[in-house]
Copies of this chain bind each other. A is one copy, B any other.
Amino acid sequence: MNSFGRIFKITSFGESHGAGIGVVIDGCPAGLALDLEAIQYELDRRKPGQNRLMTQRKESDTFEVLSGLVENVTSGAPMAFLVRNEDQRSTDYAHIAQQFRPSHADYTYFAKYGIRDHRGGGRSSARETIARVIGGAVARQLLAQACGMRFQAWVSAVGQVTWEGRPASEAPSEAGEHSPVSQDSEMVRCPDPVAATQMVSAIDAARKDGDSLGGIISCSIQGVPVGLGEPVFDKVHALLGYAMLGINAVKGFELGSGFAGSQQRGSTHNDAFYTDQDGRTRTRTNNSGGIQGGISNGEEIYFRVAFKPTSTIMKDQESIDDAGESVVLKGKGRHDPCVVPRAVPIVEAMAALVMADLWLRGRGSRV
């Protein structure tokens, strides 16, 4: 239930208001020299309070390695990491302990399990994604060393502000080393400075209104070997979609030409093959988003992920309590007015988990 992957597998545990968040990483090959600072770097990109666009919960989000490393090299044993919670303020949730927040998981969890974690969001909190970011940081180090695969995500829409461009620089060549983005765009993680400024303004405006925004994250995977993925159910993009749709607030996923591609004709949509000057098989266009028949063709894998606006808002809302009575739910607490900037490292992490698993699974494809 709380595990992801078949060979390279993470198991996530922990709640927003318990002792902390942890992850067990199983199936990572032995002999991988881990850069622990690069893992912390990814956690820092995810953590709250980096700037005014993000929830002001204060967490240092530093991890303890509980197992699996011998002098920072993977031993073949499962790795466990633990990040303790620090700034829990369960009292923030006292006023909603008996109420169901609209479009949150309160009602459905209660209906499913018959139990309510009165201390806060529990497993549905975005703090759980710490487990994924750590797991993904290990996965991308494995892939960077093993085959040079690289991941780069960015914000391509905040509310109605969109930017259709692509980052000027290639995906960074090593885990944790990201090419610097222009100053203003750093805060909102959109490479284009003009669009970034508009996005920041949109978030500021929503925040002042006590409201929230959604957005879109784009992700590019480069250096992908040909032949990853499984033909039928475990197509690369099926697993990427599964991974992305499992991130909080995600409502949509599209690969390559995506929804827009459904409006094209085959004669323009098909990606013609040619042999490049290095003798490699390439395609002239990449509407396929790097995946054909579910299997990587060596081109860039490119996909987009839609996030709904944050459910927590600072406005009064109609709702019910757990006795079914009507209530007016007060806007209170700390939250992100727009989750997409903080979700960028999460998208990269989940993508890395998918690809590491497929890369290891691919070792069994030929005699």
A287 to B311, CA, bound (A): 12
Q: Is the CB of B29 within 8 A of A24?
A: no
Chain B residues within an 8 Å CB radius of A262: 157, 159, 214-216, 251-252, 306-309
A319 to B142, CA, bound (A): 34
Q: Is A186 an interface residue (CB 8 A)?
A: no
Q: Report how many residues on chain A are interfacial, defined by Cβ distance under 8 Å.
A: 156
Q: Which of A8-16, A43-51, A177-185, A191-199 contacts B (4 or more CB under 8 A)?
A: A8-16
Query: Known contacts being A12-B232, A123-B77, A261-B308, is A67 close to B19, with CB within 8 Å?
Result: yes
Q: Is the CB of A102 within 8 A of B306?
A: no
Q: Is the CB of B29 within 8 A of A3?
A: no
Query: Known contacts being A15-B67, A80-B14, is A292 close to B104, with CB within 8 Å?
Result: yes
- Residue-wise, chain A 4-26 has the 8 Å CB interface mask toward B (1 for contact) of 10110101111100111010101
Which of the residues B6, B244, B258 comes within 8 Å of A251, measured between beta carbons? B258
Q: Is A59 an interface residue (CB 8 A)?
A: no
Number of copies of this kind of chain in the complex:
4
Of residues 289 to 328 in A, which have CB atoms within 8 Å of B's CB atoms?
Answer: 289, 291-298, 306-313, 315, 317-320, 324-326
Q: Is A94 an interface residue (CB 8 A)?
A: no
Q: Is the CB of B115 within 8 A of A31?
A: yes
Residue among A24, A227, A311 having the largest count of chain B Cβ atoms under 10 Å = A24
Q: Is the CB of A102 within 8 A of B273?
A: yes
A135 to B271, CA, bound (A): 33
Q: Is the CB of B259 within 8 A of A216?
A: yes
Q: Is A255 an interface residue (CB 8 A)?
A: yes
Chain B residues within an 8 Å CB radius of A326: 274-275
A244 to B298, CA, bound (A): 23
Q: Is A165 an interface residue (CB 8 A)?
A: no
Q: Is A96 an interface residue (CB 8 A)?
A: no
Q: Is the CB of B258 within 8 A of A252?
A: yes
Q: Is the CB of A15 within 8 A of B77?
A: yes
Q: Is the CB of A258 within 8 A of B306?
A: yes
Of residues 328 to 367 in A, which have CB atoms within 8 Å of B's CB atoms?
Answer: 360-367
Q: Is the CB of B251 within 8 A of A257?
A: yes
A136 to B118, CA, bound (A): 28
Q: Is the CB of B231 within 8 A of A109?
A: yes
Chain B residues within an 8 Å CB radius of A267: 209, 211-212, 313, 315, 317
Q: Is the CB of A241 within 8 A of B232?
A: no
Q: Is A79 an interface residue (CB 8 A)?
A: yes
A82 to B308, CA, bound (A): 36
Query: Known contacts being A66-B18, A279-B324, is A234 close to B1, with CB within 8 Å?
Result: yes
Chain B residues within an 8 Å CB radius of A78: 1-2, 11-13
Chain B residues within an 8 Å CB radius of A364: 7, 27, 29, 360, 363
Q: Is the CB of B29 within 8 A of A2?
A: no
Which of the residues B68, B145, B211, B252 comes within 8 Å of A367, measured between beta carbons? B145
Q: Is the CB of B257 within 8 A of A246?
A: no
- 10 other A-B residue contacts (CB within 8 Å) besides A2-B233, A102-B283: A2-B232, A14-B67, A22-B24, A30-B115, A100-B281, A108-B296, A111-B298, A206-B266, A251-B254, A281-B320
